[in-house]
Structure 1
Amino acid sequence: MSRAGGAGAPGVDPEQLWLSSARPRRGRKPAYSREAITAAAVALADAEGLEAVTMRKVAARVGAGAMSLYSYAPDKETLLELMVDHVSGELPTTNTLTGDWRADLKAIARLQRAHMLRHPWLPAALATRRVPGPNTLAFLEHALAALRPTGLDGAAKLEVFAQLTAFVAGHVAHEIARTAASQSPDRAAAEARYLAAVAADGRHPELAEALAAPGRPLTPEATFTRFLNRLIDGLDTD
């Protein structure tokens, strides 16, 4: 899809992308908008995955010629920036903060998890550096406000939010992969037999002890909550 993407791509100019007009500067009034193009790309990624997002398919969804869309999104990197910020507009930014920064951060993480599960392509899109657009910045502002009671300096607050987002994205990617794997009973049974054999071989006593420990609830929500609590409750603000 990309004409400028790939190895050696110069990257997205944030001033040009977010501070300039979303409409082409020349020519007659367009029959579609950058918003419509972005929404079509998001719908395609939601339905078929990020790899399915090509200019040809996006153009077909908006009823335009593929080449005519390049004035709105000249490459896939730019389109991804638009897509990430577009769906970030779904995240609430006006809900009241409690003043308990740990509780507020956990609430923010749960919002992020639900958001990424609605858009399973997001963890992969966030794996590369994103240029924050207006919707992303609004949610970042909300998260930074949640961290105000910590007394951390600005750089540390940004690091905490980046760490939280990376945790949620990694967890959701794993959650999606495990859900797909669980739909194959043969594979799940093979994994269980393999781990049982490893635990019994005598060469991995620590792992054997860990596997023999009483199990914990393995629902996605319970697992996410345990991991999240370990992360947030262990943060040091001194």
Structure 2
Amino acid sequence: MPHAGGSGAPGVDPEQLWLRPTEPRKGRRPSFSRTAITAAAVAVADAEGLDAVTMRRVAAEIGAGVMSLYTYAPDKETLLELMVDHVSGELTVTDPPTGDWRADLKAIAHLQRAHMLRHPWLPAALVTRRVPGPNTLAFLEHALAVLRPTGLDGAAKLEIFAQLTAFVAGHVGHEIAQAAVSRSPDRAAAEARYLAAVAADGHHPELAEALAAPGLSLTPEATFSRFLGRLIDGLDVTP
């Protein structure tokens, strides 16, 4: 999910992107659509990462000429806006808020985490503040409704949602990186030996004590839930 209230990437006109017709009005009927182009770009990013997404690669995926894509997405930044909003359509919430805003915010965060893990390129894409498209706005509307019981003003609610999204994106980015390390047993073992040596050198007593403490569950889900609880339970919603 993008940050709420973002101004978008330089050169991306939100009115042109979201409010005006997306299909050419003249000439022969195109054999592809903006939706198809965006879906192809998402598939490439899911499989190979954002660096693999180029106008030439996406054109090849849908069997179109590169120049024909520029009618729908004049540059990669615009294409990325389309991709972010396209996958945001997966963030559907059918149940209304329960009234327990902290529990509902945690549910939103877990939904975002699962969403970003399905699309590992999203945390990096969300570093740039983006213009909310229709799918993103629908999810944002739900989040604002969740926060209504807090009594906060609109700006504060938008800030909380942006803070939550930034936390999830940062955590998932770290989670993906750690998963890559765990797939390299030699590197993981080297890191463990290094920390053990540091803890035993006598110069880091606080770290040594922390490492000697009883271990908590280190499953990705449990770790995320603990971090999320500290964030949301500690939110100050005093007007």
Q: TM-score, normalised by structure 2?
A: 0.94
Taking the aligned partners of 2:50 and 2:141, their CA distance within structure 1 comes to 27
Q: Match of 2:126? A: 126
After superposition, where does 1:1-238 map in structure 2 within 5 Å?
10-238=10-238
Q: Percent identity among equivalent residues? A: 84
Taking the aligned partners of 1:27 and 1:65, their CA distance within structure 2 comes to 16
* Larger displacement relative to structure 2 (168-177 or 206-215): 206-215
Segments ≥4 residues shifted beyond 4 Å? none
Taking the aligned partners of 1:176 and 1:81, their CA distance within structure 2 comes to 22
TM superposition shift of 1:60: 1.2
Taking the aligned partners of 1:22 and 1:204, their CA distance within structure 2 comes to 60
Taking the aligned partners of 2:95 and 2:57, their CA distance within structure 1 comes to 37
Task: Report the residue type matching 1:143 in the other structure.
Answer: A
Taking the aligned partners of 2:33 and 2:232, their CA distance within structure 1 comes to 41
Taking the aligned partners of 1:71 and 1:191, their CA distance within structure 2 comes to 50
SS of structure 1 residue aligned to 2:113: helix
Q: Deviations over 1:143-180 (max 9, x none)?
A: 00000000111000000000000000011111111011
Task: Report the residue type matching 1:73 in the other structure.
Answer: A
Contact in 2 for aligned 1:101/1:146 (Cα 8 Å): yes
Taking the aligned partners of 2:100 and 2:115, their CA distance within structure 1 comes to 23
Q: TM-score, normalised by structure 1?
A: 0.94
Contact in 2 for aligned 1:93/1:138 (Cα 8 Å): no
Q: Which runs of 5 or more structure 2 residues have no equivalent in the other structure?
A: 1-8
TM superposition shift of 1:55: 1.0
Task: Report the residue type matching 1:209 in the other structure.
Answer: E
Q: Deviations over 1:119-143 (max 9, x none)?
A: 0000000011111000000000000
Taking the aligned partners of 2:13 and 2:94, their CA distance within structure 1 comes to 29
Taking the aligned partners of 1:213 and 1:11, their CA distance within structure 2 comes to 52
TM superposition shift of 1:25: 4.1
Taking the aligned partners of 2:93 and 2:106, their CA distance within structure 1 comes to 15
SS of structure 2 residue aligned to 1:130: coil
Contact in 2 for aligned 1:113/1:168 (Cα 8 Å): yes
How many residue pairs get aligned? The number is: 230
Q: Match of 1:3? A: none
SS of structure 2 residue aligned to 1:83: helix
Task: Report the residue type matching 2:233 in the other structure.
Answer: D
Q: Match of 1:6? A: none
SS of structure 2 residue aligned to 1:71: coil
Taking the aligned partners of 1:176 and 1:95, their CA distance within structure 2 comes to 30
Q: Deviations over 1:183-226 (max 9, x none)?
A: 11100010001111111112211111111111100000000000
Contact in 2 for aligned 1:150/1:237 (Cα 8 Å): yes
Task: Report the residue type matching 1:34 in the other structure.
Answer: R
Q: Which runs of 5 or more structure 1 residues have no equivalent in the other structure?
A: 1-8
* Larger displacement relative to structure 2 (192-201 or 99-108): 192-201
Contact in 2 for aligned 1:89/1:136 (Cα 8 Å): yes
Q: Compute the RMSD of aligned alpha carbons.
A: 1.0
Taking the aligned partners of 2:54 and 2:168, their CA distance within structure 1 comes to 27
